[in-house]
Structure formats: structure tokens, C-alpha cells
Amino acid sequence: MKPNDGVEVLKGVGDARRDTLKKAGIATLSDLIFTLPRSWRSGTVFPLDPERVGIEACYELTVAAEPTVSFYPGGRRAFKFTAQDDAGTRVTVLYFHQPYLKGQIRKGDVFFFFGALREKKGKLYLFSPERQTERPDPDALLPVYAPLPGLSGKALSKWIDAALLPCLPQIADPLPERVRAAEDLPNLAHALYSMHRPESLAALEKARERLAFDRLFRFSVQAALFNRQTVDIKVPGMTAPKLASFTSRLPYRLTGAQEKVIGEIWDDMCGKEEVPPMNRLLQGDVGSGKTVVAAAAAFLCGVNGKSTLIMAPTEILARQHYAGLSRLFEGTGLPLYLLTGSTTKKEREALYEKTTRKEPYILVGTHALFEDSALCENVALTVIDEQHRFGVRQRDRLNEKGGAFHSLVMSATPIPRTLAMFLYAGSRISVLDEMPPGRIPIQTFYVGEDKKERIYNFLREKVEAGEQAYVVCPLIEDEEDTSPLQSAKEEWEAVQKHLPHVSSALLHGKMKPAEKDEIMARFKAGETKILVSTTVIEVGVDVPNATTMVIVNAERFGLSQLHQLRGRVGRGKIASTCILVSSASSKTVRERLQKLCSCQDGFELANFDLEHRGPGAFFGTRQTGFDGLWDPEILTMPLFQRAGRAARAFVESASPEELAPYEKSYHLN
Ligand code: ADP
Ligand code: MG
């Protein structure tokens, strides 16, 4: 067996399973080996405790009542019973599609159950936990793999077992040996073995540290290289006009913070001689007025006869910027153009006609901007908005085209400075730490699920007053009886049932971009009053008439993410409300949600998250896919800093051959 062999060389993997694995991104044995466990299960017995919700654990429980069979929508049957631990704390246990359990589990029986505790409406659940009658070895550690669509974690485990030993010795270790030695980390084969089959907790911790370090190190080396590349390049310095020639066009006065940041940016780009290309990160909370800062940078370019590209992550945001900036630049003689995925070929050609002339322009668009090399003529500045996925890939791709641009990346996620310096190593950082005047603070409430009825009434009142609302639901992927979209779908059904005369719509990430844009456009136009969605609306959409944000299962989100979501409302002149709905009884969760009610400052919330949940909280990984490397106890700030230091030292001393594998776009994952 070789790492590059297809998975079909394994016993038990036929055509059908090969295809299923392939769909999940596992084509080769090497892919399989790099499919890391989501968590590990030990035989240590824990009491039932809401603080442990979501974590795999073992529970010794007595069946407290005779099991029954319940019917669920879709013809599903669940074998169901209540069980309790020593202290009398109760949990509902459900097994789907296993009617034969009748007779095997009876009132008074004692089992050791393995599973992750769930909480719904304030009650604890175990879904299809594994169970045994003999007391497990408290020191044993068994890997738990996330089930893939159409495959159980157990099947994966079996195949990994078969591939592991034959393949490991043939896997090359990408971490330079001297770095590995200096950092006292195990080699890759050893670490992978310990991840899948840990001999002890200490070995497992060391392996996780090594693999997490790997990711951070690779990211840091690439960031350092990227920033080094631009060091020797120089571009002609620009000449700054009077600030008033820009601000006189605005319908408001700049805040002190905006004025300061515009000054920093203009300073970077201006000079009598040549200057290094600007590489700046602009951080500012939602609504702090980042767009006008970008406009000022584009204005400077225009005055100097140069063009600007502004990239937004979605079509709707690109259109929003295009509309807003068109108004701002009206009559200046600096034209604005729009390019997105839905720009037709003919329109594109007309666009090239204009962009290849020497006259400066501002071109707003989506990723489509980067697929067109024809567009880089005379461009001096690129602005990337809402880049809060921490990939700096787009900026990188532009530079691959050989252009030397000033680069301004704008992030709406307030990132604590220590973390920002790692993620954007080499960038200078500007912060908009002052809100435009007159903003009405968003009232935030935290309520239990039993208050749903009142929330619907509140929504009805708001809609009757002519306002609009968002209802956001997390993706819930880890329960056997629900599909990831179930919670959003159920929520939408509930909204339709309670508010039958109100037009509402469902929006989720699995929809086609065109479909999403259309739903958003109708909401923006006020045709749809209530938008039920997964977190796809997180990114900068501006609908000033939306004044209420309801977040269901709020315990599933990090504070920064909740703050981000909350920032979707409170954009107009009407007082806005954010309602966090959660019945989680965990004390830490309650503290987190209460913090959001009392605090409107994104940086303060981000620091709270960093202290309590670690840097991993900023990647939203629990929402997007998760392996055992993103836990707060592994992904610590010291590890980030250690990897960053090691990477910078490595880049300084490494030969070009050693650096070659890193000369690619960089992003964390
Ligand atoms: P974000 O930082 O979230 O991108 P925007 O640039 O969209 O924020 O600005 C939010 C709103 O605040 C916009 O309606 C904008 O016109 C307004 N705004 C920006 N700067 C000021 C200011 N100095 N005074 C008043 N309103 C402002
Ligand atoms: Mg914005």
C-alpha cells in the first residue's frame, strides 16, 4: 500500500464507497490518514452536566423508566427512554431505527454510554450513544471521527486502521527538521499515529500540538514570504490633494478616527520619490464607516491619474458598494464600473474598452475581477472588503499577476491586536475605533426558548410598523435526527405558521449564488419582511429598514460572530433590537450571552472571546467543519506566537530550495 493509492485498494471499499469517500474529499490513502478524529473518547466516567454539552464523554447511567417507541416526522421511529446518573440528573436517550432494542434495554438496567451530550429547550439528550455493560478502562483513548455524508465514523475508523501502519513510514514530513528539533515536536508519522491511535493522553497532546503547529507555521512562513516579496518593489509616490477636496463631497463630517486613518493611508501612498506598495489592514466594527475610507484612498489614486479595484465577497455587496460610491463620485469625472459573475460577455467587452484606456476609474466587483488579467492596466490600488475569513488569497492572486499595487484589506471583525499581528503579519494595521455620531445603540435581550411566542408577537408588531427582521439559525450538523439545514427550515415553517400574513423567505448557504442574491434583493427592496437564514447574511449586507435580529440557538455562536450578526441591524434611524434565544443551561454560555447584552464594543467582545475560548473562536470552525486541532486548549495564543517566531527565523535562514514548497497562496486550514 502506498499513500498515493486510491482508497479502493482497501478491503471493503467497492465502487460505491469509493465514490462516497471521494465526494467527501477522500480519494487516496493519504487523504484518509489526514482525516483526523474530531475528538477522543476516554473511559473516564463523568456526571451529567450541561457544561459538557457537545463534548464526547462516558456516562454511567441507570435506565429510569421503561423505554417507549416514539414516531417522528418522515416515518422515523425512535426507541426512547430516560436515564439518570448517580446524582439523579436526567437525560433522554434516543436510538433511531433500532426497534430491536426493545427487550435489550429495560428499566433499572445500568450501562456505560458514550456520546456527546446535547441540549434542547433546556433538556439533556444523548442521540444513539454507544453503550456497554462492563466498566471501561479510564485510561483508554478512542478516536471519534465525524461521520461523512453516507458513512459512519466507525467505517472510517476501520479503513484508517488498515491504511495507517503500511502508509505512515512512507509519508514525508514537511516540517523542516531543524525547526522540528528546535521546537521539540514529534515527527509527522509519529504524530499522525498518535492522533488516530493515542497510547496516552500525553502522546495525544504532543501530536495535536505538532499538527496544529504545522498549520500555523506554514501559514506564517507563507505570510512572511508574501510580505518579503513586496519589500524590494517600489511604486511611484503620489501627491496628496487637500483633504477638503474630498470631504466637501460628503453629506457628513468625518469622524476623528476616519480622518486619522485616511491620513495614514495617504501617507503610505504619497511621496516625492518611489514608495513601497502599501500593505494595510483596516479594522473597524460594523457601521464604523470603512467604505468612505476606501473611497478616500480611491480618490487619491484618481487625482493622481490611477485606477482602483474594489473587491467585495458577494455580488450583492459589490452592487451595494457600486451604488454608494457612484453617488459619492458623481460629478468628479472619475467613472465607476461594476464587474460581477453575472456581467455578460458583451458588457465585459465594453468594459475592457474603457479600462484599457489611460483615464483612471474605479472598478467594483466580486472575485470575477481576478479572473481577468485585462483589467490591471493603470491600477494602483486594490481594496478588499469584508475579508474576515483570514485568507489573504485574493490579494495574493492579484500580485501573482505581476502587478505591484497598494493594498487595503478591510475587516469588520474586530480582531485583538495580538492575533491580528499573526494573521496579517507584515501588514500595517489601522483601526476605526470611533462610531459615526447619532447611532442608536442596539438593545440586546437574552431569552429562553419558552419565549418564542412572545418573539413572534414582537415580530408581528415590527412588521406592522413597516420594519423588517432577520431570524438567524446555526447549522446543526451533529445530531442524528436533524439535517444541517433542519433548524433553519423548521424555524421558517414556524414563522410562516405564526405569522401567516407576513411574507418571509429562507436563505441558506447551499443555495446557488444567483438564488441567494435574488432573495437578498427582495428583502432589500422590502418585499420580504422576515428573512430566516443560516449565517450567510453575516457579511456586510446593509438593509437599514431591518431593525430586529433574532438569533436562535445563540449558544452555538462565538461572541464575535454574534456581534457581527447583531451589526446587521441598527443601520438606520430607527431603534433596533437583537434577541438572543437560548435555553442552554451552561454557566459559561450564559455569561457569554449576558456579556453581549451589556457590551456594544466589538474589540472588548473579541478580547473576551480570545481569553475564554482561544484564538480558534475567530475562525468559526465549529460552524464550518472541525477536526481535533481547533480546540481552544490546543490552539492557544502562545502556540500562535511560537509558530510565528519560528517561521520568521526560518525564512531568514532558509535556502531558496527550502522555501520553494511555501511559495504559494496562503490561508489557514
Ligand atoms: P462599515 O464600516 O460597516 O463598512 P459603512 O461604510 O457601510 O460601514 O458605513 C455605515 C453607515 O455610516 C453608512 O450609511 C455611511 O454613510 C455612514 N457614515 C460613515 N461615516 C460617517 C460619518 N463620519 N458620519 C455620519 N455617517 C457616516
Ligand atoms: Mg462595509
User: Ligand 1: which of 262, 283, 292 to mutate, most ligand atoms within 8 Å of CB?
Assistant: 292
Q: Are 309 and 382 in contact (CB under 8 A)?
A: yes
The pTM for the full model equals 0.78
Classify residue 115 by its DSSP letter.
E
At 184-218, the pLDDT tens digits run 999 999 999 999 999 999 999 999 999 999 988 98
* CA dihedral for 12, 17, 22, 23, sign (positive or negative): negative
Q: Per the domain annotation, does 19 fall within a domain?
A: no
Could you give phi then psi for residue 467, rounded to 5 degrees?
-100, 175
From the CB of 252, is ligand 1 less than 6 Å away? yes
Ligand 1 atom index nearest CA of 544: 14
As for how many domains the chain has, the answer is 3
Residue 59 shares a structural domain with residue 126? yes
- CATH code of residue 303: 3.40.50.300
Pocket lining: 541 vs ligand 1, CB cutoff 6 Å? no
Output the domain CATH number for residue 82.
2.40.50.140
Are 280 and 407 a contacting pair, CB within 8 Å? yes
Average pLDDT, the chain: 87
Confidence of residue 268 (pLDDT cuts 50, 70, 90): very high
> φ, ψ for residue 122 (rounded to 5)?
80, 5
Residue 504 Cβ inside 6 Å of ligand 1? The answer reads: no
For the CA of 293, the closest atom of ligand 1 is 6
CB 636 within 8 A of CB 615: yes
Measured CA to CA, the distance from residue 516 to residue 342 in angstroms comes to 13
Other CB atoms within 10 A of residue 358 CB = 8
**Does residue 287 line the site of ligand 1, with CB under 6 A?**
yes
In eight-state DSSP terms, residue 169 is: G
Would the CB of 258 count as within 6 Å of ligand 1?
Answer: yes
Cβ atoms of 69 and 102 within 8 Å: the answer is yes
Which atom of ligand 1 is nearest the CA belonging to 253? 23
> What is the spatial distance between Cα 446 and Cα 70, in angstroms, rounded to a whole number?
32
- Using CA atoms, how far apart are residues 392 and 286, in angstroms rounded to an integer? 20
Distance 578 CA to ligand 1 centre (A): 20
CA of 315 to the centre of ligand 2 (A): 14
Residues 55 and 116 in one domain: yes
Say yes or no to pLDDT of 497 above 90. yes
Q: Could you tell me if residue 502 is left (phi over 0), alpha (psi between -120 and 50 degrees) or otherwise beta?
A: beta
User: Percent of the chain beyond pLDDT 70?
Assistant: 90
Query: 279 and 419: one domain?
Result: yes
The whole-number average pLDDT for the span 632-637 is: 80
Q: Is residue 21 pLDDT above 70, yes or no?
A: yes
pLDDT band (50, 70, 90) for residue 538? low
Does 390 lie in the same domain as 290?
Answer: yes
The predicted model gives 450-464 an average pLDDT of 95
3-state secondary structure 56-68: EEEEEEEECCCCE
DSSP secondary structure code for residue 105 in this structure: B
When computed from its CA atoms, the radius of gyration of the chain, rounded to whole angstroms, is 27
Q: Are strands 39-42 and 336-339 parallel, antiparallel or unpaired?
A: unpaired
Say whether both 449 and 574 belong to one domain. yes
Closest-CA residue, ligand 1 atom 27, reads 436
Task: Flag the least confident range among 242-251, 355-364, 574-583.
Answer: 355-364
254 touches ligand 1 (CB under 6 Å): yes
Confidence (pLDDT) at 667: 56
Cell of 471: 431570524
Residue that terminates a domain, selected from 432, 456, 477: 432
User: Given 534, 564, 599, which residue is the final one in a domain?
Assistant: 599
Last residue of a domain, one of 109, 144, 179: 144
Q: Which ligand is nearest to the CA of 542?
A: 1
Helices (H) and strands (E) in the chain, counts: 22, 25
The grid cell for 572 is 438606520
Which residues make beta-bridge pairs with 446?
A: 580
Name the residue of 247, 252, 387 to mutate for ligand 1: max ligand atoms within 8 A of Cβ: 252
Same domain, 448 and 401: no
- The finding on whether 269 has its CB within 6 A of some atom of ligand 1 is no
* Choice among 304-313, 338-347, 402-411 with the minimum mean pLDDT: 402-411
Supply the residue whose CA is at minimum distance from atom 25 of ligand 1: 436
Q: How confident is the model at residue 394 (pLDDT cuts 50, 70, 90)?
A: very low
Assigned C-alpha cell, 616: 480558534
Show the domain range for 47. 39-144
Question: HSE (CB half, 13 Å, CA atoms) of 306?
Answer: 24
Tell whether the model's pLDDT for residue 398 goes beyond 60.
no
Half-sphere exposure for 471 (CA within 13 Å, toward CB): 25
